[in-house]
Amino acid sequence: MKTVEQKPKYSLNEEQEKKLILREYRSLLRALKDKIKPGDKDILRRAFEMAADAHSSMRRKSGEPYILHPIAVAKICIEEIGLGVRSTVCALLHDTVEDTDITLQDIEREFGSEISRIVDGLTKISNVIDSSASQQAENFKKILLTLTDDPRVILIKLADRLNNMRTLDSMKREKQLKIASETVYIFAPLAHRMGLYSIKTELEDLAMKYLEPDTYKEIAKKLAETKRDRTRYINEFIKPIKEKLERNKFDFEIYGRPKNIHSIWNKMKKKGVTFEEVYDLFAIRIILNSPQEREKEDCWKVYSLITDEYTPSIERLRDWVSNPKSNGYEALHTTVMGPRGKWVEVQIRTKRMNEIAEKGLAAHWKYKEGSANENRFDKWFQQIREVLYNQDADSVDFLQDFKMSFLTEEIYIYTPKGDIKMLPVGSTALDFAFAIHTAIGAKTIGAKVNHKLVPISYKLRSGDQVEIITSNKQTPSEDWLSFVVTAKAKAKVKEALKEEKKKVADEGRYTIQRKLEGMGVSMQQANLDELVQFYKLHSNLELFYQVAIKNIDLRELKEFKVIGDRIEYPRPVKIVQEHKIESHTPAQSGNKQDTELIIFGESSDKIMYHLANCCKPIPGDDVFGFITTGKGLAIHRTNCPNAPKLLANYGHRIVKTKWAKNKEISFLTGVRIIGMDDVGVVSKITGLISAELKINIAALTIEASEGLFEGNIKVYVHDKEELDELVNRLKDLSGIESVERYDTEDLPGKQ
């Protein structure tokens, strides 16, 4: 695991800086050594010089010369993703078009169209016309469009993001939140999907470091404290296995490897357990040096040797050797009972599989020849392409759909003939029908899952065998959209509904045409616009449709004036002067948030804000303000379950906020206590809370069973400090196992 070091304040003179840049560039060339062919040195040199020159007057937030960033990105591409010379050139140039005077044409002239296309893909869309759309989502769509032509775009983008995350320390807090949120929301899942496991892990850990600094530090500290014990245990576990493998003449490596902080935290949240109770804080990894034709056999042989020594858990065997994940991941995972009754996960893979697990897509190509799964990525890209060209939904929806369809874990579904289709978790029988063919999906009336009849909304589970039942009388309906999850099914249903609407609307169009002609005017666009505006609709289609289904009867048309070939609705006269005065004030309110500091929580508050219901912040919590439409400012905790989505999609609506000192208002929050049930536990707890700490209790429930109790207490506190003290004091009481804050109504597992 890498950690970002706090760099000392930047201070180098010009001469030293030049040396540093050259040194970094040389080390880049060294990293690329094995891949450089004659002529490559020249093109690399030209790219480096062009970028260095273009960025020469720019500096990063840390004070470093800007060019160090593209060099670092290029280095990640080479060393951590396994990309080659061309990608290195693109990585060096990746910020030039966006941030400097260099144009795409310059790059095409100098380096050809292949490289300029990739750099174009890496250049953000800078002028967004529609400010309500999420710029991030739009940019993302663009990256994805290029991705399907050339996956290197996304790989370089991930390297760029990784370097930005590693150097996030020097950014302002709200920038950190925005970038870290985007990273967990979309870039880490994408890295996972591209098979870049170590990059995914590092991105998640770095994001958590900024989004939940306290928890991050606490888990990191506990990991460090328990390291010696863990190492001792791992050695004890490994010893007999090692001897067995040696006796059987395997060429192998074996080691224990800690899980990343983010995944430990996820497990704690998901299972509602403490750090101490997370059993798989580490995994044992065995890497075999086997020839490709003996890989499968060897992996299973090793599995057999391990389970001779330790008892395996039946439910926890994963065979991704016979059936690789669609991101290319191959390995055999098992969980066995180790010494002293501890469950331990063991991962068995070959060197080739390991390289794919670490470098993902790029390594995959290297081994492409002769592999049975050679077109896995191609298939994936084709699916993405299909969806991208098919949809016109707004981009935030799109991002959500995309995540749902392409970045979640998958389930395997069998056709009646035994072919396998992979679908995202949560897919229904109808999703499966659309995955087979659009024409089948549109006519589905039901399905047989494992020979049993089920409705089309039935949620499938991995391993189900599904037969689709169709009828020629069936047509897609609006409610289908409420349960399909794949982007393909959604797009196809919407398309069909739109077609249907168009047919109905034709009638309305005819009605309007007749009415207008009756008034002596033609059905030209200006007249339609006037009607669309009058009825507060969005499009001609909507107007025709509403008229066709008789929601609009056009009675008001009588009140319109006819001027030549135009109709016009008489409007009240506007005061022109007011307009003029307004246009004098500079329209820059949209950019002000960056500098504005909103202090809330004071009793004489002038800003309209409310505390978000989803995470119920209290003073002292790490929070941000989110400008809602119509309801003022919503204050969310930075670790609110909704935060990543808000921050990632609507960075421009985030406001920096700070709590004012306040001892007048108190806030309702919940504390969950688990401990040993003994007499007097209730009075001990209430005594501490109300008598000693003088905190008001709003509600208290305690349930006990089999010697344990769980107490849920709602209390009024003034701020986080007070809450922290309460939690710590409760923890110190004898017999208390864990004390945890919760947000009143939330149930474990919801998120």
State the catalytic residues: 98-99
Strands 657-659 vs 667-676: parallel, antiparallel or unpaired:
unpaired
**Which residue, 160 or 355, is less far from Mn ion as judged by CB?**
160
- The token pair that represents 79 in the structure block: 């060393």
- The token pair that represents 175 in the structure block: 């920038």
**Which residue, 95 or 138, is less far from Mn ion as judged by CB?**
95
**Which residue, 93 or 241, is less far from Mn ion as judged by CB?**
93
Smallest distance from the beta carbon of 179 to Mn ion, in angstroms? 12
Site string for Mn ion, 106-145 (x = CB under 5 A): ----------------------------------------
Residues in the chain: 751
Smallest distance from the beta carbon of 33 to Mn ion, in angstroms? 25
Smallest distance from the beta carbon of 459 to Mn ion, in angstroms? 41
- The token pair that represents 745 in the structure block: 């109504």
Residue 345 engages Mn ion in binding (rule: CB under 5 A): no
Task: Tell me the C-alpha to C-alpha distance, in Å, between residue 179 and each of 183, 251, 417, 460, 622.
Answer: 6, 43, 46, 35, 16
Short-list 65, 63, 62, CA closest to 54: 65
- Contacting Mn ion within 575-604 (CB under 5 A): none
- Contacting Mn ion within 415-474 (CB under 5 A): none
- For residues 88 and 25, what is the distance between their CA atoms, to the nearest angstrom? 11
Smallest distance from the beta carbon of 60 to Mn ion, in angstroms? 10
- For residues 14 and 516, what is the distance between their CA atoms, to the nearest angstrom? 74
Smallest distance from the beta carbon of 114 to Mn ion, in angstroms? 20
**Which residue, 95 or 204, is less far from Mn ion as judged by CB?**
95
- Contacting Mn ion within 155-194 (CB under 5 A): 160
- For residues 625 and 615, what is the distance between their CA atoms, to the nearest angstrom? 13
Short-list 274, 39, 60, CA closest to 170: 60
**Which residue, 160 or 431, is less far from Mn ion as judged by CB?**
160
Smallest distance from the beta carbon of 593 to Mn ion, in angstroms? 23
Closest-by-Cβ residue to Mn ion is 160
Q: Residues in contact with Mn ion, total (CB under 5 A)?
A: 2
Block residue for tokens 């302002």 = 172
**Which residue, 95 or 621, is less far from Mn ion as judged by CB?**
95
Question: Are 165 and 69 contacting, i.e. CB atoms less than 8 angstroms apart?
Answer: no
SS3 535: coil
- The token pair that represents 157 in the structure block: 């983008």
**Which residue, 95 or 401, is less far from Mn ion as judged by CB?**
95
Indicate the DSSP class of residue 732.
H
Smallest distance from the beta carbon of 94 to Mn ion, in angstroms? 6
- For residues 721 and 602, what is the distance between their CA atoms, to the nearest angstrom? 17
- For residues 178 and 663, what is the distance between their CA atoms, to the nearest angstrom? 31
Question: Are 167 and 213 contacting, i.e. CB atoms less than 8 angstroms apart?
Answer: no
Stretch that binds Mn ion, among 154-162, 384-392, 445-453, 525-533 (CB under 5 A): 154-162
**Which residue, 55 or 509, is less far from Mn ion as judged by CB?**
55
Q: What residues does 711 pair with on adjacent strands?
A: 673, 702
Rounded to the nearest 10°, the torsion over CA 722, 724, 727, 729 is -70
Smallest distance from the beta carbon of 74 to Mn ion, in angstroms? 11
SS3 459: strand
- Contacting Mn ion within 83-102 (CB under 5 A): 95
**Which residue, 99 or 110, is less far from Mn ion as judged by CB?**
99
CB burial readout 92-126, b (16+ within 10 A) else e: bbbbbbeebebeeebbbebbeeebbbbbbbbbbee
**DSSP character string of 13-61:** -HHHHHHHHHHHHHHHHHHTGGG--TTHHHHHHHHHHHHHHHTTT-B-T
Smallest distance from the beta carbon of 61 to Mn ion, in angstroms? 12
Residues binding Mn ion (CB under 5 A): 95, 160
